Structure 1
Amino acid sequence: MIKARVTVTLKNGVLDPQGKAIEGALGTLGFSGVGEVRQGKVFDLEIDSTDKAAAETDLRAMCEKLLANTVIENYAISIG
């Protein structure tokens, strides 16, 4: 069993209204000095395999086909 984490974030230059809303809310709650906030998403997956290379290939395919919108998002894969 291989455990993996996929982190998906918006590419630089893509507007992030959720991040802006979080940034404003943090200021309202008294957290001063918070700079630009960018939001993203994290997927924790368990792959039924012992072959890390094959698992990474499958994870990349999952990201390209479903987990990330590669036009506006980047993704990073961590296998542990």
Structure 2
Amino acid sequence: MKALISIDYTNDFVAEAGALTAGIPAQAIHDRILELTKEFTERGDFVAYTIDRHEADDSYHPEMKQFPLHNVAGTWVHDLFGDLQSYYE
């Protein structure tokens, strides 16, 4: 068995409107990430999504002093980017 680990491929880190977007380079790998995710899933391999998560009112989190509010749970910015979200669902 193999494993695929998807790390922080969310709208806030990838979409143009994301608070901490990596922009075009991150967007350019979308199709390959989706393709690999499908391949691993269909083979029955392990697929893990590790996603940074914050609450809108968590002013005590150490990242809040370093970065703008991002990856707020339950919002569009916390969803996986592009077609990966619908495939995940």
TM range (shorter): under 0.3
Q: What TM-score comes out, normalization by structure 2 length?
A: 0.25
Q: What TM-score comes out, normalization by structure 1 length?
A: 0.26
**Higher relative contact order (Cα pairs below 8 Å, separated by 6+ residues):** 1
- More strand by percentage: 1
- More helix by percentage: 2
